[in-house]
Chains A and B, each alone.
Chain A
Amino acid sequence: MSAADGGVSPTAAPSAGIGVGRLIPPLLVLLVIALASVLIAVAIGSVHIPPAELWAVFTGDGSPLHRTLVLELRAPRALAAFAVGGLLAVAGALMQVLLRNPLADPYVLGLSGGAAVGALASMLLGMGAAVVSGSAFIGALLSTVLVFGLAHGTGSWTPTRLLLTGVVVAAGWGAVITFMLAVGPTEQLPGMLYWLMGDLTYARTPWVAFAVLLGTCLLVLPLGRSLNVLARGPLQAAALGVPVRALEWSIYIGASLITAVAVTTAGSIGFVGLVVPHMLRLVLGNDQRLILPAAALAGGALLALADTLARTMIAPEQLPVGVITALLGVPTFLYLLYRSR
């Protein structure tokens, strides 16, 4: 979708030797797509608002009902969707570089499991939305520290070891989640399932996620070169003077923190973190200086559009956004993959 509009050759470009100037045009295209997606998300809802009325709302006019719909319901949710999508896509791109594994996504190391256990436990205790978010964040951090500590262990450290530790910890969380779903009161099951599927209804305010997304972009951009080298392998990276261990742990902790923010905002939305970085690599080549900011924009755009569909497709019934991200993303990704051969 967004990537195809970039119109860049699909063959994977070599990561070194591209000037910074070459990075700007694709990013500008993605920026336009991102802005358009947020605009669409604000303009479309289950209630039809004519363009003239919409414009009136933007200029500080408009009926009280339309103001509430656009400013209180749609805008915060669209921004939250964009921020969460961007965070997940960036976290996914970072994890794929860190683990040198194409199947890595933000949740592969068990973070969403920890967050889900926190969120579901506080739902079982009948807590309000704020406590559920807080518990999810604590659960995510707990899982991160657990995996960090266990993977560190006493032996040598490798991405494989980290991956195995994370996957097994994730399986453990999965068991706890299943247990809670099995014993939880029936009336709470829908809420718990929606949280697990990911749903922007939980987004209370977009600003935290948005600020974190901006901060993340500013922090990882200078790391692009080192990440490019790291992606080719730790030995070459070390030989070229990259502090491999420090860089790897920073990626792990950074990606975990931003995933925790995303999951805390909207539950564990799947797919975005796995597929958006791959789509971008197929179209733009594997240059982390480009992929990371592009992931922020494309992931945000995808989730903002997907959430618009989730709100409106079978309105007034509401779908969890995870359904739509997969429905949109799977064919797009398969098409790009097929074309790239």
Chain B
Amino acid sequence: MIATTTARTPLRILAGLAVTGILGPWQVIAADEPCVTDDADREVCLDAPAERIVSLSPGATELLFAAGAGDAVVGAVSYSDYPPEAEEVPRVGSYKRLDMETLLAREPDLIVGWITGNPSEQLERLQELGVPLYLSEPRELDDIASTLERLGVLTGTAGHAADEATAFRDAIDGIRDEYADAEPVRVFYQVWDDPLMTVNDAHLISQAAALCGGDNVFGELGSLTPRIDTESVLDRDPEAIVAGGMGEADETWLEPWRGYDSLTATRRDNLFFVPPSSIQRPTPRVAEGSRILCEQLERARERR
């Protein structure tokens, strides 16, 4: 899809090791000319820690702030709304269509792109123009932690970012341990209502549910966010239905399900709401979203 390997400078093994967190004293050397491997398996090397960063997805903005590089973010795409400071960052278009002029006028020394969200032709153009580009696509829970670490290396905040990554991993491990013996709960996660959409097992949401025995009834479908019909939900008869919504407290998507008494989830009142931005964006807030989700699945178990 996007150019796979562009080694900007010769491989720096020391820096590579620093990323994996093995090295102690040499990390200082690495921080001067930071190098990491991004999610497209490209080597991204900077001459110095980035001081002017443009983020091309709301999730990446959040990750940069979490990694301690919030002050260095000089441009972001629309909907970059968390943390609240991110709303003050100048906009450079929407993730679907970037305003290349405004973006370049921010004179970035690092751009954090989004592989499946940004138009590939615009990402290619940015590469041609020679601005260092880190391509991000967190697909697994641990990718969130490793993205924090890698962004920390690139922005000279490796220490803070490593702490945040550790905190995230600990939170996830804590949930996993807590629910290690939990009985499986058949769950349907509704990501959109019209058209009706869910997620498959490759999606972060499904992985979060799996931490605590959540068994995604549509997990085996081929597409990451499959469009489905009401019938197939009735057919698979989930024990719990979890929905996001248009806002952070908008539970209207659950209403239609109350009319289907044949659904186990409806009969047991296992219709749950999770604030969408806490679980649909690949950011450290997923730890909090996972905890909410797991508590709800636990309630579903109690109602058996």
Contacts and interface: CB of A to CB of B under 8 A. Distances in A.
Interface string B86-125: 0000011110111111111101000000001101111010
A194 B224 contact: no
B104 A73 contact: yes
A132 B1 CA distance: 11
Nearest to B121: A129
B37 interface: no
B227 A191 contact: no
Contacts of B94: 317-318
Contact of A201 (B78, B116, B121, B227): B121
A177 B47 CA distance: 46
Contacts of A311: 99, 101
B218 to A, nearest CB: 14
Interface string A175-186: 000000011011
Nearest to B192: A186
Interface in A1-31: none
Nearest to A203: B121
Interface stretch (A64-72, A92-100, A330-338): A64-72
Contacts of B5: none
B171 interface: no
A127 interface: yes
B99 A185 contact: no
B120 A68 contact: no
B246 interface: no
A328 interface: no
Interface residues of B, number: 32
Q: Is the interface of A mostly helix, strand, loop or mixed?
A: helix
A185 B223 contact: yes
Given A128-B124, A191-B119, A315 B102 contact: yes
B2 interface: yes
Contact of A316 (B102, B197, B224): B102
Contact of B120 (A74, A128, A186, A318): A128
Contact of A69 (B78, B96, B105): B105
Interface residues of A, number: 32
B225 interface: yes
B122 A185 contact: no
B129 A191 contact: no
Contact of B101 (A45, A132, A183, A188): A45
A47 B107 CA distance: 12
Interface in A199-220: 199, 201-202, 204
A101 interface: no
B105 A185 contact: no
A46 interface: yes
A185 B124 contact: no
Contact of B129 (A68, A199, A204): A68
Of A46, A127, A183, A311, most B-chain CB atoms within 10 Å:
A46
Nearest to B77: A316
A24 to B, nearest CB: 38
Given A187-B116, A201-B122, A316-B103, 8 more contacts: A47-B101, A128-B124, A129-B120, A129-B121, A182-B227, A185-B224, A185-B225, A316-B93
